[in-house]
Amino acid sequence: MIDGEKANQGEQDYLLWWESSIVEDAKNLNMNFVTWLDQFFLAQGKKFWDEPKRML
């Protein structure tokens, strides 16, 4: 889901993950679509946003 207000203001962390019927439960992914798509390819289609952050 896209936070339209953030996207319209030019913020880069406008993506939300929403699995329930309650919009308020949406999880902020702290990324834009380009970053999400790149990470999705690297994770080979897995829900990388549910995994703990890894230190590089």
Q: Which residues contact 39 (CB under 8 A, 6 or more apart)?
A: 31, 48, 49
The percent of residues in the chain predicted with pLDDT above 90, rounded, is: 5
* pLDDT range class, residue 49, cuts 50, 70, 90: confident
Q: Which residues contact 19 (CB under 8 A, 6 or more apart)?
A: 25
pTM equals 0.62
In whole angstroms, what is the distance from residue 1 CA to residue 4 CA?
A: 9
